[in-house]
């Protein structure tokens, strides 16, 4: 599985088909166990609207947002600590980011019912020399990648179940987002939807 040569999307590495069907199903089991302990919720944007993507996290830190802004928190909004990041997920990080310290957050994004994610930078972490790794499961999604300035030109790629993306180096602080999901395009989940797992070093 680790033999795939990545595509280069504006400096971001895209490993198409990195996870086979059985690896995808096993990850899905891990996601179900995370969600069983730390239920999905809809974070509020700082401007008071719930995000269309539902989220939860595993690891020392979970990503959180409310009217006071975006941040990492050591607790789920229900007050409990986040579950540990499953070993199968850490193994993927070690394969593709072997020189980086262990990730401290595995954000779980769940796209349903027309959910999408606007262009943004991942910049709530302390050290941008560490990459961000993102895993796609379920329905296909149109991923847009830009540059470090919001109005830089962008390029898009369809991400399918089992694809992995690594944003490091020049692409670490690049704007990116999900324009749309082709709901029902994958049979991995029982119902239409897409899961994205994002691994990051926070401290
Ligand atoms: C994100 O940038 O937080 C999510 C990207 C994705 O869903 O693929
Ligand atoms: Mn992001």
pLDDT tens digits along 118-144: 999 999 999 999 999 999 999 999 999
Averaged pLDDT score across all residues of the chain:
96
pLDDT of residue 4: 82
What lies within 8 Å, CB to CB, of 182 at 6+ separation is 139, 140, 141, 142, 158
Position 1 confidence tier, pLDDT thresholds 50, 70, 90: low
pLDDT of residue 108: 98
Residue 107 Cα: closest atom of ligand 1: 3
- What's the CA gap between 46 and 69, in Å, rounded? 5
- Mean pLDDT over 155-179 rounds to 98
What are 9's strand-pairing partners? 12
Is the minimum distance from the CB of 24 to ligand 1 under 6 angstroms?
Answer: no
Q: Which domains does the chain have, with CATH numbers?
A: 7-200 (2.60.120.590)
In total, the chain counts a number of residues equal to 203
| Residues 143 and 157 sit within 8 Å (Cβ to Cβ) | yes
pLDDT of residue 3: 72
Q: Is the pLDDT of residue 2 over 90?
A: no
What lies within 8 Å, CB to CB, of 187 at 6+ separation is none
Is the minimum distance from the CB of 109 to ligand 1 under 6 angstroms?
Answer: yes
Neighbours of 31 (CB within 10 A): 22
57 or 4, higher pLDDT: 57
Q: Is the pLDDT of residue 27 over 90?
A: yes
pLDDT of residue 164: 98
pLDDT of residue 67: 87
Q: Among 69, 64, 70, which residue's Cα sits nearest to residue 82?
A: 64
- Token pair in block for residue 103: 């990730």
Q: Among 99, 95, 115, 130, which residue's Cα sits nearest to residue 23?
A: 95
Residue 120 Cα: closest atom of ligand 1: 2
| Residues 199 and 132 sit within 8 Å (Cβ to Cβ) | yes
Residue nearest (by alpha carbon) to ligand 1 atom 3: 198
């Amino acid at each position: 599985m680790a033999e795939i040569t990545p595509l280069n999307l504006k400096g971001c590495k895209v490993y198409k088909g990195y996870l086979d069907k059985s690896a995808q199903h096993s990850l899905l089991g891990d996601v179900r166990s995370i969600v069983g302990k730390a239920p999905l919720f809809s974070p509020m944007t700082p401007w008071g609207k719930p995000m269309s993507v539902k989220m939860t996290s595993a690891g020392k830190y979970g990503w959180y947002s409310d009217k006071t802004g975006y941040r990492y928190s050591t607790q789920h909004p229900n007050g409990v600590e986040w579950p540990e990041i499953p070993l199968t997920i850490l193994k993927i990080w070690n394969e593709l980011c072997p020189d980086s310290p262990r990730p401290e957050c595995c954000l779980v994004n769940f796209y349903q019912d027309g959910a999408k994610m606007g262009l943004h930078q991942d910049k709530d972490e302390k050290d941008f020399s560490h990459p961000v790794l993102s895993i796609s499961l379920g329905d296909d999604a149109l991923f847009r990648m830009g540059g470090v300035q919001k109005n830089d030109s962008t390029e898009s790629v369809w991400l399918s179940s089992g694809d992995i993306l690594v944003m490091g180096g020049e692409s670490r602080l690049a704007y990116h987002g999900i324009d749309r999901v082709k709901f029902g395009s994958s049979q991995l989940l029982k119902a239409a939807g897409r899961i994205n797992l994002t691994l990051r070093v926070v401290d």
